Amino acid sequence: MFPIHRNRRLRTTEAMRALVRETVLTPNDFMFPMFIAEGQNVEIPIPSMPGIFRRSIDLTVMEVKELWSLGVKAVNIYVKVSDNLKDNTGKEAWNPDGLMQQAIKAIKDAVPGMVVMPDVALDPYSIYGHDGIVENGEILNDPTVDALTRMSLSHADAGADFVAPSDMMDGRVLAIRKALEENGHHNVGIMSYSAKYASSFYGPFRDALDSAPGFGDKKTYQMDYANRIEAIKEALHDVEEGADIVMVKPGIAYLDIVREVKNAVHVPVSVYQVSGEYAMIKAAAEKGWLDHDRIMLEQLHCIKRAGADIISTYFAKEAAILLNK
């Protein structure tokens, strides 16, 4: 009762606020998504994502070394596949000499301690830009799961610490887990994109990889953003099938889902602060409408406060630099 209790006593100074702060953000919380291109000494800016680039493997390795020095311990990697290698089977995805496989090996050779989580989905390899094999306008589930399993094994063979299926096909976590076990990859984990919504926040990402769907949309396999209980069901299914980490995607507009999933599962929860969320902050800051650094750190704190154990964010490097100060 007032005046016995005055809540403002715990807010009087920065030192006092820091002493009782409930959520503490560090570079250990971050995973940095990286886009990889063919060639040498290649750095291509992504216009809709200021400060983010598609880099060749040699420059990617340099960036990974810097991230490690800043305390960022994990990277989530994606590749820009040449059009001549795309088809409807995704077979380039499990080429042992493919761009993804080369990138995994190069990163692990250069920074062995870095946790490398390559993306597992067919959209960068598909002539249709969809996450699965297409037949008569339908994205087929079971043949796609077979392809994703082969892709995951090739990533594990290349040295990946985790595989990260982002496709939202039913049953793929169990199929991948069984294949990893049968092939001796007992310590390779699975970070499943469990609650991945059919969101409009992904636009800049698709610019980065030239992977926008060639027809229709992804609503037959990604989740309806109006649904909440479905996200819990998806996460629980993935844990039952062997997921070591579950993900909610996007981030800041889905914090209610993050909390629901965190309350329901007993594995770490990852949250992807996606390209559109990143681009909005960058654009508003360029206009002078928002304070870039303050908004960046506020959103990252809010994502962690909601229940994220890992935050996959394009701000990882910038935030780590600020937090280290």
Q: Which residues are catalytic?
A: 196, 249
> In this structure, what token pair is assigned to residue 127?
């002539």
213 touches 128 (CB < 8 A):
yes
Point out which residues pair with 192 in neighbouring strands.
246
Question: Which of 172, 188, 159 has its CA nearest to residue 133?
Answer: 172
How many CA within 13 A on the CB side of residue 191? Answer: 27
Q: How many angstroms separate the CA atoms of 117 and 155, rounded? A: 9
CA distances from 49 to 157, 205, 208, 252 (A): 32, 8, 8, 17
Dihedral pair phi/psi, residue 53, rounded to 5°? -135, 155
Q: How many angstroms separate the CA atoms of 130 and 150, rounded? A: 17
How many CA within 13 A on the CB side of residue 197? Answer: 26
